[in-house]
Structure 1
């Protein structure tokens, strides 16, 4: 008999972001409730959580732990507030810790990394303020929160026998999902969303000594790995339930190849920077959504490089890409 209906609840709260509302999940376990993601630090999200608890007749003190699928503020923003009210522990992947705790040394490195990366890939100086706006957005929609413990691939979720942690990097390099094999059900966070493709965001490595992660390549590898699992359905953090995960994964992989092919065609005209390509691919939004469109473009250039369809050329500190046969 399935154990899911008796212990799993979903709450949808609004966010101020283009992605729309977020689903946060509640698991009732052996020692209380586990909250999977929290929503952003807004009064609407907190009110929604408080109303949910009133409806289900429990309080903050009954929350045993908060599990964060990744560090983005629509998922982690209220973690500090709820932990303070409840005494709950906060758990996340180790790679998310410096973001969630807002480690000052890491955040300085984060900003330095993006200033350099954007400059060398042709982003105009007047658009580099995007880096500072990222910090402002984090400060507005999330408080720094202490992470009490980390979760790794294959770990059993504390308090919930039968639930396992699955490491699902790509959207971020610290993304995790939760999987109940008995029911073939995954709480997939932003790993896979029915209505929209999950952007594989460019991020710095955790230390200056490591090479830049290539998130789209990592994401594609993760998609293939997850497609091999006997997952029957996914409950994402956004949008509707996914009832054919394997089919959706194949569609996402195909669309990525199609975009890569389109970029290769644009490079037939001559060498271009990642920023110039993003302007051609996303002419209506590349300025307003620069970090997103830049990540999307550079990720596909990484894919084209791996398959030896394009090559990098560097002149005067600026990176451009050209077709391999040029």
Structure 2
């Protein structure tokens, strides 16, 4: 798979932009774009130039989700090339920088930070970083919405959209069903659905997602059921055993659920911020929302399963003898 790696100072590692090219027609497509920053844009331009192309030659852009490290340059590329920008309908308004959608996201984040018990000083630190636009940086793009099952013909490839929510409401995998290596459905672009080193954040990375852990576990089941031979993630190197990786991430969340239960049993009722402190220690930067968001995702799941109650913003353990296989589910 032809990819260009771009800088990213976040913990997930270097971003991947995948280049799809039909050499007969010169039809050029990109899967994701990287951060909107002069040095990152220059790296992308250099990568395309080494292949004999420029940003103006891009015909299609396929976005796995709206986060700035994946969609940031889409609008700039589209302005130069008139490329079609495909993104799931849930994320399209954010890629377009729709004022209403951006305001709703910002207000929802502020509301949940308060509900999760995040202290005022930590909230102020986070918002000074985000400033309401951290996740939606760059030039707006005119987005073409897609949904689960949408078939795209881009860069000489036929790819099928597989909605994979959890980390983001509109996150999608794109299964390669025709053209080039892996053209039999055995490979896919997966964005941040699964990553080779870290587990994608659930709960804080996109506060619009309802029942985030439940939705993410279903995404992992989808990846296991499709049993890909190899997948191409949004960060770092390809994953050669994606089924095993998805199962390992599911085990990770089962273990984390157990740790959350241990916190409540040992320390009594607590809000997500307090639980996250026991799980992760002191938090700063973007982790101020990722930490309690992750704790909330697990507490919320336990609440819906009747294991904990929610009173006055605090979660209280009401059932100590818990079958984690039944609560979190088994993915096989």
Using the size of structure 1 for normalisation, the TM-score is 0.88
Q: Distance in 1 between matches of 2:72 and 2:286?
A: 23
Of 164, 173, 176, the match for 2:172 = 176
Alignment of 1:1-326 (within 5 A): 8-29=1-22, 32-129=27-124, 130-131=126-127, 133-135=129-131, 138=134, 142-159=137-154, 160-181=156-177, 182=184, 184-202=186-204, 203-205=206-208, 213-268=210-265, 269-285=267-283, 289-314=287-312, 319-325=313-319
Shift of 1:62: 2.1
Shift of 1:183: 5.2
Shift of 1:31: 6.0
Shift of 1:120: 2.2
2:166–2:216 contact (8 Å) kept in structure 1: yes
Q: Distance in 2 between matches of 1:201 and 1:299?
A: 5
2:227–2:243 contact (8 Å) kept in structure 1: no
Shift of 1:288: 6.3
**Root-mean-square deviation over aligned CA pairs:** 2.1
Shift of the 148–273 alpha-carbon distance from structure 1 to 2, 3 Å rule, reads closer
2:56–2:77 contact (8 Å) kept in structure 1: no
Which runs of 5 or more structure 2 residues have no equivalent in the other structure?
A: 178-183, 321-332
2:203–2:212 contact (8 Å) kept in structure 1: yes
Shift of 1:286: 5.6
Q: Distance in 1 between matches of 2:222 and 2:48?
A: 36
CA offsets 1:20-64 (integer angstroms, 9 cap, x no match): 210110111356111111100112211111112221112233210
Q: Distance in 2 between matches of 1:53 and 1:246?
A: 32
Which runs of 5 or more structure 1 residues have no equivalent in the other structure?
A: 1-7, 206-211
Residue aligned with 1:171, SS: coil
CA offsets 1:227-248 (integer angstroms, 9 cap, x no match): 1113111111112221111111
CA offsets 1:256-309 (integer angstroms, 9 cap, x no match): 011111111111131111111111111143676211111111111122223322
1:70–1:174 contact (8 Å) kept in structure 2: yes
Q: Distance in 1 between matches of 2:137 and 2:198?
A: 24
Residue aligned with 1:128, SS: helix
Q: Distance in 2 between matches of 1:51 and 1:279?
A: 43
CA offsets 1:135-188 (integer angstroms, 9 cap, x no match): 36538x822423331121111113345321111111101001111141511111
2:150–2:160 contact (8 Å) kept in structure 1: yes
